[in-house]
Amino acid sequence: MKEPYKGLPGWKAIGFKSYQEYLESDWWKRTRDIILESHPFCEKCGSKKSLVVHHKHYETVTNESIKDLMVLCWKCHNEEHKGKGEDSSK
């Protein structure tokens, strides 16, 4: 049985105080830009407007691969988080 995930050690290990601080960093911005260049549309609805890069899970934060991320428009991103009982507007 897989052990439950217990937090976000990746961003702490490289010196960020919070997940939000990581998302505002040059480190994440470079990763996000690379993903958006290769996938310039929402992977759910095909929109090319208001795109964000979504973490499918948090186990690989700071060491993400393309399979860990997906490009979504803001609307689909909000729906994705609502489906998981999360509020992505925070």
Q: Which residue has the tokens 């609805």?
A: 45
* pLDDT tens track for 63-80: 888 999 999 999 999 999
* pLDDT tens track for 13-63: 778 888 889 899 998 999 999 999 999 999 999 999 999 999 998 888 888
pLDDT band, residue 89 (cuts 50/70/90): very low
User: Looking at the whole model, is its pTM more than 0.85?
Assistant: no
Residue 18: other Cβ atoms inside 10 A: 11
Q: Name the DSSP class of 16.
A: -
- Using DSSP's 3-state secondary structure scheme, residue 41 falls into coil
Query: 49-53 contacts: CB < 8 A, separation 24 or more?
Result: 49/73, 50/74, 50/75, 52/77
